[in-house]
Every structure is written in C-alpha cells, then in structure tokens.
C-alpha cells in the first residue's frame, strides 16, 4: 500500500513537471513566433500561459510586432501582461492600460480608442531620400509614459538627473542616460577623424532637455515632458528650415513640400549614431523638427531601412 502511494505521488510530481514543461514550450513557441526573441523572461508575463499563448497567436501580424516591440523595450518596467476582453492588459506601477492594437490606452481612452494612433509608428533608419509622408498631426496617448514615469512634474523629476552631454548640462530621464553616454562616446571618437562632426559638436550652442509641454499642434505630451527628448540647437541654421511651425509662417500651404536640401539637419553620421543607440530624429517626421532627438527604442525595434 505504501509502495502504491509512493508510486502515485511520483506519478503526480512528474505529471505536474511534464505539464509545466509542455506549457513553457508552447508559450516559448508562440512568443518566438511573435518575434519576442529567445531572451524574453517568460515568467514576467501573466501566469495563464496556455491562455496567453492562444491569445497572442490570434493577434494580427502587425499587432504582434508592436506588442513585441513595446514589451521587449520596456520589459523591466512592465509588471505583467494579462488578457481580458480580447485585449492585452499591461500592468505598470500598480495601474493598468490596454494594448488596443498598440495604442496603449487607459480605460477612459478606450471609449474612443479609434481616435488614437498606435504608440509605435513607421520610421526609417539611415539617410532620408524622400520627403516624409504628409498629413495632420496624429493623436497618441501618453498614458503609458504617465504610468512609467508619473503624471506630475515632481514624479517625473524623480526619474531624471542632470548629466553632461558634449559639455552642456542636460536634465534627462535615467532610462536614456546610458544610451546617451554611448552616443557621446561614439560622437567624440568620430570627431577625431571627421571635420564635419567636429564642427557640428562645436556649433551646438544650447541643449534643451526636460520640459513639461504638449506637442505643438496636438494634445498629447511631448517626450520632453518625460525627460526623454533632447534639442541640440546649433549656432545658426544657414538660412535653412528647421521646425515646421516656423516654416509654416512663410509657407502657409506647402511647408510639407519644402525639399530636403532646404532643411537644416545634423551630419548624417550623427543621426546614425543616435539611431544606433535608440534615439529617433525629429527631422523624419511630417511635422519636422530637425534639432530634436528622442529615446524610442520601441520604434527603432520595428523600423525599416538602415541595411
Ligand atoms: Zn524637442
């Protein structure tokens, strides 16, 4: 009788291990299929592995890529992800938000979710060969960044610190400082051989960083509000166009058609180094802002171009 009970117990232990192993394999398969990569810490996701695996596989391909880009870029800051009402619910800092096709919305914003565009949008690495697409400014939710870094200025400030970048003091989110340090190292190294890069670095007169503001012409917060954006202002723009709102004063109707050769831009090697380290360049936006860089690894994770 004792032997039989030991046998049952052993069977139950091995069956349990086997079941856990099968679930893990199933989840890994689906996440790899989603492009999340082998380094993903599966335990950080919700416990309902079988359910999650099934739900992820039902997301359209485009949404799976956005999900992977957001999750892998913020995996250390996301507490967990669960599925509810045919959507993924992200838990961040004791609050939650809906994936909503990459829109990352609060429960309140879900009432009019089609008004919002996804947080991750198309971006091309490398040299711009054509004008950016034309159009109106798109409404995007800041809720994800609100949950990550706080809704008040005081809360966001607690995530930031003052650092030097190319000899100027900037106040930036700690999250992007290691990447910015790497940008600085690469720029200074390149400046030893490139006259153009050296001249650019020497031309930077002011560096703007943390500032509470909304995107001009839109209603959502600029990434400057979270200490994740940097404006590097040179001594002069050689009479070229820099910022869409200033250009619109003189080109009221056709400012989006201003040729690239008439727009000021940093040396291409500088833009490439920022992009390599997770920063996108505002010169590639339809509403161009050519002195602006912001830390958006989730956008670069699915960006095209760059060979
Ligand atoms: Zn800016």
Half-sphere exposure (Cβ direction) of 293: Cα atoms closer than 13 Å: 23
Report how far ligand 1's centroid is from the alpha carbon of 171 (Å). 13
Confidence of residue 58 (pLDDT cuts 50, 70, 90): low
CA of 64 to the centre of ligand 1 (A): 30
Give this prediction's pTM.
0.82
Say yes or no to pLDDT of 39 above 50. Answer: no
* Residue whose C-alpha is closest to residue 209's, from 278, 288, 156: 156
R_g of the chain, CA atoms, integer Å: 23
Ligand 1 centroid – CA 6 distance (Å):
68
Residue 177 CB coordination number (10 Å): 17
List, as own/partner pairs, every contact residues 263-269 make where C-beta atoms lie below 8 angstroms and the sequence separation is at least 24, other chains included.
263/288, 263/290, 264/234, 264/237, 264/238, 264/240, 264/290, 265/290, 266/200, 266/232, 266/290, 267/194, 267/196, 267/197, 267/200, 268/127, 269/190, 269/194, 269/196, 269/197
- Asked if pLDDT for residue 216 goes beyond 50, the answer is yes
Structure tokens at 106: 């609060």
Residue 274 CA to ligand 1 center (angstroms) comes to 14
144: CA distance to ligand 1 center in Å?
A: 19
Ligand 1 centroid vs 31 CA: distance in angstroms? 35
Q: What is the whole-number distance in angstroms between the Cα of residue 232 and the centre of ligand 1?
A: 8
Structure tokens at 180: 């910015």
Smallest CA-to-CA distance from 203 within 166, 239, 177 is with 166
| 22 or 228, higher pLDDT | 228
What are the residue boundaries of the structural domains of the chain, listed by start? 2-115, 156-305
pLDDT in tens, 131-175: 988 777 889 999 999 999 999 999 999 999 999 999 999 999 999
Looking at residue 41, its pLDDT comes to 37
- CA-based torsion, 213, 114, 285, 250: positive or negative: negative
What is the whole-number distance in angstroms between the Cα of residue 65 and the centre of ligand 1?
27
Name the percent of the chain lying above pLDDT 70.
Answer: 78
- For 169, the token pair is 């003091």
CA of 291 to the centre of ligand 1 (A): 7
CATH 1.10.3470 fits 156-305, yes or no: no
């Amino acid at each position: 009788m004792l032997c039989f009970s030991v046998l049952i117990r052993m069977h139950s232990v091995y069956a349990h291990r086997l079941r856990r192993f099968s679930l893990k394999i199933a989840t890994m398969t689906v996440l790899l299929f989603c492009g999340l990569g082998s380094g993903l810490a599966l335990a950080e996701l919700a416990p309902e592995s079988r359910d999650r695996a099934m739900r992820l596989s039902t997301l359209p391909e485009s949404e799976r890529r956005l999900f992977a880009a957001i999750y892998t870029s913020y995996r250390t800051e996301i507490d967990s992800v669960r599925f509810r009402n045919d959507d993924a619910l992200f838990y961040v800092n004791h609050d939650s938000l809906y994936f909503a096709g990459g829109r990352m919305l609060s429960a309140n914003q879900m009432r009019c979710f089609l008004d919002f565009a996804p947080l991750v949008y198309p971006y091309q690495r490398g040299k711009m060969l054509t004008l950016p697409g034309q159009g109106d400014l798109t409404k995007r939710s800041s809720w994800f960044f609100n949950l990550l870094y706080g809704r008040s200025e005081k809360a966001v400030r607690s995530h930031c610190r003052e650092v030097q970048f190319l000899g100027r003091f900037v106040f930036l989110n700690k999250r992007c400082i290691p990447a910015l340090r790497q940008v600085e190292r690469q720029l200074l190294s390149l400046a030893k051989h490139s006259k153009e890069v050296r001249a650019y670095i020497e031309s930077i007169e002011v560096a703007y960083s943390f500032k509470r503001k909304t995107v001009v012409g839109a209603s959502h917060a600029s990434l400057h509000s979270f200490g994740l954006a940097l404006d590097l202002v040179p001594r002069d723009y050689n009479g070229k166009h820099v910022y869409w709102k200033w250009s619109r004063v003189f080109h009221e109707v056709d400012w989006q058609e201003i040729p690239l050769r008439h727009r000021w831009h940093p040396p291409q090697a500088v833009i490439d180094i920022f992009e390599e380290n997770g920063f996108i360049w505002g010169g590639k936006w339809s509403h161009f802002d050519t002195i602006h860089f912001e830390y958006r690894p989730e956008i670069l994770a699915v960006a095209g171009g760059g060979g």
